[in-house]
Homo-oligomer: A and B are copies of this chain.
Amino acid sequence: MSAHPTSGLDEVVHQRHRLGILTIAVESKRVEFGYLRTTLNLTAGNLSRHIAVLEEAGLITVEKGYEGKRPRTWISITPRGRDALAEEIAALSAIVDSLGSRDRT
């Protein structure tokens, strides 16, 4: 019996805020901390915690710098992050398709 699609999900990626961070980061070369914070409607502390988990897992890199005189933090997805997100999306598609194809009367 093949494993259920949810058993293959990686909690590091699947957790909803981390999934949000990765789905935004994959869209561009790098993304700025403040943009992530407002788009995902998170506190700076909460966002920092999730970024630390993703960085620890090697799925993103974190770059610190300045824009003019203002300190800035950017994150970029890594190749491993792209692969992990692709696996997550494949599993989510399988879940969505399995429910979509069912005739829900």
Contacts and interface: CB of A to CB of B under 8 A. Distances in A.
Contact of A92 (B4, B20, B39, B92): B92
Nearest to A16: B9
Contacts of A43: none
A27 B38 CA distance: 37
Given A23-B99, A98-B23, A41 B89 contact: no
Copy number in this complex? 2
Interface residues of A, number: 32
A26 interface: yes
B99 A96 contact: no
B14 A16 contact: yes
A30 interface: no
Given A23-B95, A99-B26, A102-B27, A7 B41 contact: yes
The 7 A-B pairs at the shortest CB distance, nearest first, are namely A6-B20, A9-B16, A6-B16, A92-B92, A93-B96, A7-B41, A6-B19
